[in-house]
Amino acid sequence: MATTELLFDLTPGEEQQMTREVVQRFAREEMAAVARAADEAGALPEGFLLKTVDLGLNFMPIPEALGGVGAGRSPVSNVLNMEDLARGDMSMAIAALAPLSVINCVMDFGTPAQQEQVSQVLASAEFSPAALALMEPGIGFDARCLQTTAALQGDGSYLLNGAKSMVAFGPEAKILVVFADTEAGATQGFVLDGETAGLSFEKEDYMGLRPLPLYSMVLENTVVPASARLRDDFDISRFLSLGKMATAALAVGTCQSVLDYVVPYVNERTAFGEPISNRQAVAFMVADMATEIEGMRLMAYRAASQAEQGLDFTRIAFLAHRNAVRYGMKIGTDGVQLLGGHGFTREHPVEMWYRNLRALAMLDGMLLA
């Protein structure tokens, strides 16, 4: 009997499924259960970041020779983990994944010395804050034409000047990967120690992502050695595409939380003697949310699959990101609408998810799948 080859299979591998079960349980018990309190306090729960170390995600892409597991870079696994953690809480997910994104960036584009440096600092039993610094303040941000500059000096070092926004952990970061425009007119990354002279930070507050410690950063005549520069083959297009995949995964996880909450609500909430889900307008809105989430999920998975196979994933990553930003915001809005007057109160978490989903369009370069 002839066997039929599976041409398209979304079933996670055995190791991926085991990891997902652990991450999903962590998201339920250590994130979703305390997300509202963290949002109200505007701070991460005490001890949360240390608990994330036990997930072991930072060790996965690091070679065994550098103290890691040696599982290799896996955009598919990263997208799955990002989705699951965001289902617990987007703010806490970004905080937990920021160091892993630095590791992914340096494993993709860093020199052997930089890879060793990052592995020693971030692959440890303690949580070590780290962040990518790409976003800049002001209108017209363009990652391919940054206002932050890196001027080559006579001794081979670089002089960095400029400003960054939405830098996770700020002055607490042990390692920062700062992106700047070089004299050659190209975007390049530099691996900085968090205590590098010439860096200053100021805490920023936003309507969403309240527990996440975000800072603006100013670089004023910051001198870094030539060894801080990422490899000459740094590919800004690939970097941005991997970031768009990460944003799409965050959107999927957060939107799934919205859907999981509103379905029982509309089935239990009664008006005029019957559940409001019996109303066609309500039922169709919920069905649209479910449909849109599945579309977002499939596009994110497809982009990750193509990236992992070494195929060109620029186009699908762009589409996945655009779809996530557009429908992520719509699903957040519809979730609030379905709760009626309750959607405007802080009694229910939907307004918190709505505020977090507003940030999707501003997360470029914060995480890397």
pLDDT at 343 over 70: yes
Domain 14-127 has CATH 1.10.540.10: yes
To which residue do tokens 């999927």 refer? 252
| CATH tag, 236-362 | 1.20.140.10
Whole-number Å distance between alpha carbons of 198 and 232: 25
At 70-115, the pLDDT tens digits run 888 899 999 999 999 999 999 999 999 999 999 999 999 999 999 9
Whether 132-228 and 236-362 share one fold: the answer is: no
What's the whole-number mean pLDDT along residues 119-139?
94
Reported as type and span, the H/E element at residue 24 is: helix 14-26
What's the whole-number mean pLDDT along residues 347-365?
95
Whole-number Å distance between alpha carbons of 313 and 311: 6
pLDDT at 199 over 80: yes
Please give the share of the chain, as a percent, with pLDDT higher than 90.
90
Topology at the third CATH level for domain 132-228 = Butyryl-CoA Dehydrogenase, subunit A; domain 2 (2.40.110)
At 270-292, the pLDDT tens digits run 989 999 999 999 999 999 999 99
pLDDT confidence tier of residue 17, bands split at 50, 70 and 90: confident
The DSSP secondary-structure symbol of 275 reads: E
- Say if residue 273 is exposed, middle or buried (CB neighbours under 10 Å; 0-12, 13-18, 19+): exposed
Whole-number Å distance between alpha carbons of 361 and 144: 17
Q: Which residue has the higher pLDDT, 184 or 317?
A: 317
Whole-number Å distance between alpha carbons of 48 and 169: 14
pLDDT at 128 over 90: yes
What's the pLDDT score for residue 5? 52
pLDDT confidence tier of residue 334, bands split at 50, 70 and 90: very high
User: Could you tell me the two tokens for 195?
Assistant: 């205590």
What's the whole-number mean pLDDT along residues 12-22?
86
Report pTM.
Answer: 0.94
Whole-number Å distance between alpha carbons of 343 and 290: 19
Beta pairing class for 158-168 and 274-275: unpaired
Domain ranges of the chain: 14-127, 132-228, 236-362
